[in-house]
Structure 1
Amino acid sequence: MTTHNASTVLVTGATGGLGAETCRRLAAAGHTVWMGVRTLEAGYDVAGKIRVDSPDADVRVVELDVTSDDSVTAAYRAVSESGTGLDVLVNNAGIAGRVAAPTDTVPTDFLPVFGVNLLGPVRVTHIFLPLLAQSPSPRLVMVSSGMGSFAVTNDPARIESTLHGLVYPSSKAALNMVATMYAKALPSIRVVAVDPGYTATALNGFSGTQSVEDGTDAIVEACTADSPAGMFIDRHGPVPW
């Protein structure tokens, strides 16, 4: 995999799971990493752990709640005024919501999940777009899921086909559509949606079948590779919509 020179990356939801591991790997590779976090103390803790293994890592913490216009706007000011620029925006923050069978799901179950998983990426992208557009090689990475793929969730060979729910899968399916529309509207920005795979994180009670490092393979590739294998990818290559 051929990669670009060091760039500046902002990752939302950076204090745990896929977000923290993505920050660790990118910082270790020499990229400047902004960790978007809801709680500064937690962010500083993760950043400190990254520096233990990579003392020269340029890891910066910025308070960022993807559900708040004011919070994201303040984060934008902090990043833009720092002078680092922004080359890659990784919309990673996500929640699973209430676990319920489709027949037990009610409309209010959708609100918090769509607020983070769909409206969060739209809010962060909209506010950070002016800074991202100044990069010579801008990238927009949406951390989606195989649960958002109609093909994957209907493939009996995939574990996703056995996981039934209305809310989380539909939020990721909607995010995939948003990604395709951004790609059409922003031809100068490389837009990639990523399926990390069924990764053991707090989102699923650590029931996933692969490690968090494996889960970040496709995210890191989307951030750094000269030619991502497709617009919707996992660690093995293109994912069907």
Structure 2
Amino acid sequence: MIEFDNVYKSFGKFHVLKGLDLTLESGKINFVIGRSGSGKSVLLKHILGFIKPDSGNICIDGQDTAGYKEQDWQVLRRRFGMLFQDAALFDFMTVRQNVAFPLIENTRKHSDEINEIVSRKLELVGLKNHDSKLPSELSGGMRKRVAFARAIATDPDFVLFDEPTTGLDPIVCSVIDNLMADAQRELNSTFVVISHDMKATFKIAHKIFMLYNGEIVAQGTPDEIQQTGDPLVRQFIEGHLTGPFEIFY
């Protein structure tokens, strides 16, 4: 479980998190939605310890991270997988080498075992016959699937996703959605997904949290969020131009 308790974070005069209270459920797919600039990526960086809160507490599996030193964070981060918005593959590495990287860096597994794991993960994402290719030889959707295989290579306890379907066509989006749902069931990991993709959100989320003005203003199951009468939530999920949100042209 990942818990934010009254977390504040500002950058100069820009207040991003304003007393954030949030409990991301263990062993579930948690989606965090909200407009661009609402603090979603800042939230992810707090979870990984790349940003420290100005005040408040962040607990992971009941452990308060407030006093963590960098070496403590390095140990904790080994329990995480991360899928970046732009895939962030190593251009000079093959597909196989990219997926093997976290296993080589964070485990003591023998090379034969690493190769077996990599083959299994690549088969899971439908890329077992592309392992010798470089990222430049792949489509955007294929690169995202390689990044996904790398994110789950170590069977992490937590997997963080930053806009996993951005820039992909609807068919590839569905592929990624299904991969996420299948992998979460297999790993029973805690998934935290930052997304604007409402179709994916309602399709695979177990719990949805809406971040607005530095706070969680709505949370619930997909059915609960879809049925809400809150005008702020309704405007966001339906994409209306009129409503509580200020629209700038």
Q: Which has the higher contact order (CA 8 A, sep 6+)?
A: 2
Q: Higher helix fraction: Structure 1 or Structure 2?
A: 1
Q: Higher strand fraction: Structure 1 or Structure 2?
A: 2
Structure 2 length normalisation: TM-score? 0.33
Structure 1 length normalisation: TM-score? 0.34
* Structure having the higher Rg: 2
